[in-house]
């Protein structure tokens, strides 16, 4: 009955566990600070005026959008820079490709032949803007 087991190793595991919990807490805190508090610009993609997709511009991603016989290859956060651009398209005008990278809220890439618009929205609404004085 009641065999005593010397528990010496748990100290190591306690340390590891504590480290893990600490890291996790830091990660959650960091995420909350970066993702929660900051306003992020979102790329909203419209085809024929209908929203078909949205993506954060600070997260590297590649998407393909097709509409009206044209196919656009869009890249978000190109070269690690928050923004959106159309890297290639088979539309006749290529205006969307020539637009390059848009980085600011309100900017948009428009492909008329495909009737696709990639517009950056949000992020421009500072909650604590002291400059916004009426008058
Ligand atoms: Zn185009």
Domain range 42-121, CATH class: mainly beta
* Residues whose CB is less than 8 angstroms from the CB of residue 101 and which lie 6 or more positions away in sequence, other chains included: 78, 81, 83, 84, 85
pLDDT of residue 10: 66
How many angstroms is it from 34 CA to the middle of ligand 1?
Answer: 34
pTM (whole model) above 0.75: no
How many angstroms is it from 129 CA to the middle of ligand 1?
Answer: 37
Domain extent listing, the chain: 10-39, 42-121
How many angstroms is it from 6 CA to the middle of ligand 1?
Answer: 72
How many angstroms is it from 103 CA to the middle of ligand 1?
Answer: 18
How many angstroms is it from 47 CA to the middle of ligand 1?
Answer: 12
How many angstroms is it from 127 CA to the middle of ligand 1?
Answer: 35
**Residue 95 burial by Cβ neighbours in a 10 Å radius (0-12, 13-18, 19+):** middle
pLDDT of residue 80: 92
Paired with 62 in beta bridges are 75
How many angstroms is it from 41 CA to the middle of ligand 1?
Answer: 22
Cα–Cα dist 39/54, whole Å: 15
Which tens digits make up the pLDDT trace of 18-49? 886 777 775 666 554 444 435 789 999 999 99
Lowest-pLDDT range, 54-63, 69-78, 85-94, 121-130?
Answer: 121-130
- As a whole number, mean pLDDT of residues 130-134 equals 50
Intra-chain end-to-end CA distance of the chain, in Å: 83
Mean pLDDT of the chain: 83
How many angstroms is it from 125 CA to the middle of ligand 1?
Answer: 29
In the predicted structure, residue 94 carries a pLDDT above the cut 50:
yes
pLDDT of residue 14: 83
pLDDT of residue 25: 76
Which tens digits make up the pLDDT trace of 114-124? 999 999 999 85
Ligand 1 is an ion; residues with CB less than 5 A from it? 89, 91, 96, 111
């Amino acid at each position: 009955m009641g065999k005593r087991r010397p528990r010496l190793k748990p100290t190591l595991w306690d340390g590891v566990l504590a480290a893990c919990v600490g890291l996790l807490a830091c990660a959650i805190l960091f995420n909350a600070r970066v993702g929660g508090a900051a306003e992020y610009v979102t790329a909203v993609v419209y085809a024929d005026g209908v929203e078909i997709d949205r993506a954060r511009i600070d997260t590297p991603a590649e998407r393909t959008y097709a509409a009206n016989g044209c196919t656009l290859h869009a890249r978000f956060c190109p070269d690690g820079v928050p923004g959106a651009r159309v890297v290639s398209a088979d539309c006749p005008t290529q205006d969307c490709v020539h637009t390059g990278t848009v980085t600011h809220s309100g900017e948009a890439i428009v492909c008329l032949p495909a009737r696709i618009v990639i517009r950056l929205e949000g992020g421009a609404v500072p909650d604590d803007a002291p400059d916004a004085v009426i008058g």
